[in-house]
Every structure is written in structure tokens, then in C-alpha cells.
Amino acid sequence: MKKRMLMLMSVVLVFVLVFVAGCGSASTTAPTSNEKKPFVIGAVFDITGPASSLGIPEKNSAQMLVDQINKAGGINGHKVDLKILDDKSTPAEAALDIKQLIEQDHVLAVIGASTSGASMSMVPIAMDKQIPMVSAAASAAIVRPASDHKWIFKTAQPDDLVAKVVVTYLKAHNITSVAFMPVNNDFGNSGLKEFQAQAGAAGINIVTVQKFEASDTDMTAQLTKVKDAKPQAVIVWSTPPSAAYVAKSYKQLGLTMPQIQSHGIGNKSFIDVAGDAANGVIFPAGKLLAVDTLSASDPQKSVLSKYASDYQAAFPGQALSTFGGHAYDATNMVLDALKASGDNPTASSIRDQLEKISNYPGITGVFNMSPSEHNGLDTSSMVWIKIANGKWTLDQN
Amino acid sequence: MDSSSLMQYILTGLAQGGLYALIGLGFVLIYNVTGIINFVQGEFVMLGAMLAVTYERMGLPLPLVIVFAVVSVALIGAGLEVISIRPARRATPLTLIIITIGLSMAVRGIALLIWGTDPLVIPAFSGGGPIKILGGALMPQQFWILGATAVSVLGLYIFLDLTVMGKAFRACVINKMGASLMGISPRRMSTLAFALGAAVGALGGVVFAPTLASYDMGMALGVKGFVAAVLGGLTSVPGVILSGFIVGIGESFGTAFISSGYKDAISLFILLLVLLVRPQGLFGIYGGKRV
């Protein structure tokens, strides 16, 4: 009996020794293969909540890019550690998220957020902590004036630029009276402000402004008001799903004037929810949606094709969206700034590199940053897209 | 504003109100038997819409999609009652209401895990363009919503007034003690109330699915149904139907003439106003029995 106990104990002892030795060797060998410590960067996206159709492709695109870099050996031998947090589409959560990234994870730079409201709430924190932040959202106010936004950059086309594209289109088509329908949040209200500022100078009369909420599902009441005001065209400034319900109610009321939507509908979710009511809608967007019909001489052609094929290989069955492109550009810029900063990058070295970006072909456009310009896109980054038979097509008119 | 615009606001309000009435009906059914305000009601609507999307994607024909979604949610409703309300049936109504709030959060969380965050839709039940009525326009799907409300009211009438089980159900509503002395199990009737309430809510979700199916849609719709139910006096079927339409039309005019941002405020304002004048609701019987 005693003998057997002894044997059992020695067997257990051997197992324990082998296990400990195994652990020991594993833990000592791991660091030697990768001595350099990883670079930590953070990202805040609207992964759940009403703006999730923006946030999910953004999260995927950022993660895909970082995985590619790490697979290729990292940056100068340093792996990149991307910490992604979800702000649940609310500005309050976005502010908490960026605080956590800076204070607990000690990130070198922050990417995000997806929407203007969430980004705006992160700006004062990034400024205060002096951490570079690259937003993927639209509102021009996120980075303007650049003198007050030393640490803030953004990749999406700003709404004043899009407003300019829309005004140019209206003038070319001799449209002088329009109805404007913004979603009642930072994106819509900022679009309204920029459009009002430019329409007056161009001799375009806004006959009625009809707001709706991001959570509304029926816009017939607002569109009836629009119908009574008899505009030549209707401009909608929103994101799906609410933008799609405008299109649905538009069809219900049988309105026939041109329906111009904003760059906010550049994802498949708009067509999915609006169904055949999406047909006939035109909107300005980045070139990604028309990548197949782009001429080979376009400076963005190669980067667009690579992104499109990489994304569809990594996330089969998921449609491309311009929003994913915004995050792809933001992540790419931060990674390039890290590459240019050597072995000891700091928040301020990354910031300085970001500001030096010039003639940089991205998904959203060709970027030219400067101390006075922290977005760096011009109207050449946008094309007109028309939805026909549930598909995006380049609108040459 | 001309008469066709006026007509459009009324029609939009009626179509939306039909959905609110349907959701409110679920509140009334469950409140009558159990005395609980069931805050899972909105989630039943969400589950109905989500399951309709799932069954539709499986390739089932429309009638089966409707039946399966409604029956599945009725079973879920009964199941929730058995596992969470029944064990706590001796607790105060307030505790039970808090339990339903917790349940609604759990259901929403599980739906998020199953279906993700993207808004989903199914094709409209019948094709074709808008139908014109006196200058206003409604989509065919909105008639389906109104039809579903009518069918639910008719179905409940037949069940409650013409079947033995329905009579037992009503007996429980009128006098629980008396009913149990007659051999009717109030416990079983409570489960039945949850199943019926869930089925009615799910039907609302199914007919709304061509507009929207999203994991987080339940809360907002649930609040509207709740307002309709309280406005109607919490116990009256005709009351909740009429109140649903009042809330819908109030919202539609409020959107047109004030702002859609005040939509929720408008329906709650209507509720406050009515409760100040008639604390028992439009159709409630003050201090009377629950029928």
C-alpha cells in the first residue's frame, strides 16, 4: 500500500516537473524570438448601435491592415498591437473609450470614431492629452481650424467639400430651388450649415428644411411638407437606415423630382433597406464604389483595387463601403507615420509625420496635409454615383 | 396646406397607429390577467420581426413565415413566464415588473448575439406601388399592418367570447379567487396570457419586418404600445385600439408641424394630459373590475 502511494506520488512529481519545465522553456523562448516591444495604437468605432453599418467595415479594415503588417514582420521588427473599442454609437461612450486607450493602454495614436458626434467628443481629450487622433467621420468642424486642432486629423471628405460638389452639380443642372432634409444629429446639422453657407452665394434657394431623427422609420409627414413647397430637387443629408426610409417614403408619395442624397449612404445597407425605392437616387461618393469602372490612369486605381480584393478575400460576403475606406486610410497613415518615426516613436513624432503627408493616394482620395489643413482632400476625390437596379453605377452627367 | 396633405398626415398616423395598437393590445392582455405591466412586450415585437427575417431567408413561403414567427414567439413568451414570472408569483406586482425589465434587457442582448447589429428587412408582402386615398398615399404593406390589427382583435374576440378556454381566461380576469374555486388554474391562465400577448406582439413585428428588423427596435416600439395601453385605460381592448390610433396621428401631425424630434415627447404629453383629466384613462373604469 505504502509502496503504491510512493509510486503514484513520483509519477505525479515527474508530470509536474515536465509541465513546469515546459512552461519555463516556453516563457523564456517567446521573448527572444521577438525582443522588440510592440507599438500600441488604439481605435474607437461605432461597432454597435445605429451607426454600426459604418463601424463594422471600419473595424474590419483597420484590423485587416494591422494583421497584414504583423504577418510581414511588423514595423522595423516591432509588432503592432491595435486595441479596438466600441463606443456603441454614442458620444459619451466614445469619450470614455479614448480616455481608457490613452490612460490604461498608453496608445501612441487613436483612430476614430465613425460618426461626427462621437469624434467631436473625443477631440478635447486627444488635445488635452496630446495624442494624435485620426477621425473617420465627416464633419469639417472636427479638424477646423487646424490651428486649434494641432493633434487632430481626419480622412473622410469634410461636409463643406461635399456641399461644394453638390452645389456645383445643382448649378450645372440649372436647379435653383431645393428642399433640404438633414438627419437631426451632428452629421445632418453640420451638412445643413455648410450647404446653406454655399447655396446662397450660388443663387440656390432652400425653400424648406425638414429634419428627421436617426431612429425614424417613416418620413411621409416631412416629405408631404416638401411636396407642398414644390422644390426642383430634394437633398437628403443622412446615413442608413434613416436615409433609406426617406427614399421609401419618397416612392410612397410618388415624388418625381431628383433625389440627391449625401456621401453618408455609401454602404450596401442603404440599398438593402430601401429596396427598389433606392433606384434613381444619386449621391456624391468616394471612388471606391465605382472601382471597376475607374480608368487605369487614376492615381487611386491601384490602391483601390488592392483594398477591394483584400477586403473581399478577408471578409467574404461583406460588401465594400466607403466607410471602411476612411478607416483604412486612417490606419495606413498612422502605420506609415510609425514607420517613419524609427525605433522610438512618440506621440509628437507621429503627429509631425501625419502633417507631412503629401500626394498620398488613399481609398478616400489623394491627401495633402499641411499645418493649416488636417484633412487634405479636394473635390477631385469625389464622383457622382447613381443607383440603378440596386447597383452603384458611375453617373457621368 | 391643402386637403391632400391633411389626408397624408392622417393616413401616415393611422398606419403607424395600427402598429402601436397591436403592441398595446399585448400589454392589455397580460395586465388583465396578471396585473403586470410587461416590459418584454417590445422585445416580442423585435423577436417576431427577427424570426420573420430568419424564416424568410430559409426560403419558407410567406404564410409559413408569418405562422412560424408568431408561434415561435408565443412559445418563447410562455417559456419566459414559466421560468421567471411563475417562480416569483407571490412577489408584489412592482417586483414582477422589475423582473420583466430585466428580461427585456436579456432578450435584447441575446438577439444582438444571434442577429448582429445590421438593420435587416424582408420583401414587402405584396408588390405594387402606393395606393391613393383622397389624395394621400399608403404602401400596400401598411394595409397589412392595419389588417393584422383587425385580425388580432377579431381573433381575440372569437377566442375570449366563444370558446370555453377563453371563458376561463375571462373568469380569471373578473375574479381570480372565484375562478380558482371553479377549478380554473390562474397559473395556467397567466402563462396563456403571456403566450397570447407575445403572439400579438410578434404579429406586429412580422408585418413591420419589411420596414425594419433590428435587435434594438423593441424598446422604442414598446414605449409607444405602453402609452397606447395606458391611454386606453390598461384594461379595455377597444380603448387600446383607439388610443393607438390617437398616438399615431398625434405623432404624424407633431412631426409635420413641430418636429420629429419631439415625437416621443408628443405621445407622452398626450398621455399626461389625458391622465390629468381622466386618471383612469380614456376607457378605464375607475376602481372597477378589470375586463
Q: How many A×B Cβ pairs under 8 Å?
A: 87
Pick the CATH number of A39-157+296-377 from 3.30.497.10, 3.40.50.2300, 3.40.50.300, 3.40.50.10490: 3.40.50.2300
Q: Place A397 in a pLDDT band, splitting at 50, 70 and 90.
A: low
Measured distance CA(B193)–CA(B27) in Å, rounded: 10
Mean pLDDT (chain A) is 89
Residue range(s) defining the domain that contains residue B226? 10-116+137-277
Tens of pLDDT along B139-183?
A: 999 999 999 999 999 998 898 888 998 889 888 888 888 888 988
Q: Which residue in chain A is spatially nearest to B9 when comparing CA positions?
A: A221
Nearest to B261 among A53, A184, A228 (CB): A184
Fold for domain A160-293+383-394? Rossmann fold (3.40.50)
Q: Do domains A39-157+296-377 and A160-293+383-394 have the same CATH topology?
A: yes
Structurally, chain B folds into a number of domains equal to 1
Within 8 A of A222 by CB-CB distance, chain B residues are 255-256, 260
Closest CA to B37 of B115, B132, B114, B103: B103
Among A9-13, A106-110, A284-288, A323-327, the least confident range: A9-13
CATH number reported for the structural domain that contains residue B108 in this entry? 1.10.3470
3-state secondary structure of A283: strand
- Sorted by where each begins, the domain ranges of chain A are 39-157+296-377, 160-293+383-394
Nearest to B260 among A216, A227, A273 (CB): A216
Asked whether residue A8 carries a pLDDT value surpassing 90, the answer given is no
Q: Is residue B2 part of a domain?
A: no
Whether residue A276 lies within 8 A of chain B, CB to CB, comes out as no
Distances (CA, A) of A384 to A24, A184, B82: 61, 25, 57
Q: Which residue in chain A is spatially nearest to B133 when comparing CA positions?
A: A253
Of chain A, the end-to-end C-alpha distance in Å amounts to: 95
Q: Is residue B125 part of a domain?
A: no
Measured distance CA(B182)–CA(B169) in Å, rounded: 12
- Please give the grid coordinates belonging to residue B123: 420583401
Q: Is residue B126 part of a domain?
A: no
Tens of pLDDT along B49-103?
A: 999 999 999 999 999 999 999 999 999 999 999 999 999 888 888 899 999 999 9
Decide: B106 and B39 in contact? Cβ < 8 Å: no
Q: Give the distance from residue B222's alpha carbon to the nearest chain A alpha carbon, in angstroms.
A: 14
E-assigned strand segments in A5-104: 39-45, 80-86
Q: Place A12 in a pLDDT band, splitting at 50, 70 and 90.
A: low
Question: To 10 degrees, what angle do helices A347-355 and A322-340 make?
Answer: 120
3-state secondary structure of A351: helix
Within 8 A of B224 by CB-CB distance, chain A residues are none
Within 8 A of A179 by CB-CB distance, chain B residues are none
Q: Which residue in chain B is spatially nearest to A214 when comparing CA positions?
A: B261
The reply to whether residue B15 touches residue A218, judged by beta carbons under 8 angstroms, is yes
Among A247-261, B101-115, B250-264, the least confident range: B250-264
Mean pLDDT (chain B) is 89
Measured distance CA(B249)–CA(B236) in Å, rounded: 20
Give mean pLDDT, residues A48-74.
91
The reply to whether residue A221 touches residue B260, judged by beta carbons under 8 angstroms, is yes
State the pairing for strand pair A391-394/A382-388. antiparallel
Asked whether residue B286 carries a pLDDT value surpassing 60, the answer given is no
**Torsions phi, psi for B68 (to 5 deg):** -60, -45
Tens of pLDDT along A118-127?
A: 999 999 999 9
The reply to whether residue B5 touches residue A228, judged by beta carbons under 8 angstroms, is yes
The reply to whether residue A48 touches residue B112, judged by beta carbons under 8 angstroms, is yes
Q: Is residue B124 part of a domain?
A: no
Q: Is residue B131 part of a domain?
A: no
Give mean pLDDT, residues B242-248.
94
Measured distance CA(B142)–CA(B26) in Å, rounded: 20
Whether the link from the prior residue into A145 is cis, omega within 30° of 0, is yes
Q: Is residue B269 part of a domain?
A: yes
- For A43, the enclosing helix (H) or strand (E) is strand A39-45
**Torsions phi, psi for A213 (to 5 deg):** -90, 155
Q: Place A130 in a pLDDT band, splitting at 50, 70 and 90.
A: very high
ipTM given for this complex: 0.83
Q: Which residue in chain B is spatially nearest to A246 when comparing CA positions?
A: B211
- Comparison of pLDDT for B271 and B24, the residue scoring more: B24
Among A54-63, A274-283, B25-34, B172-181, the least confident range: B172-181
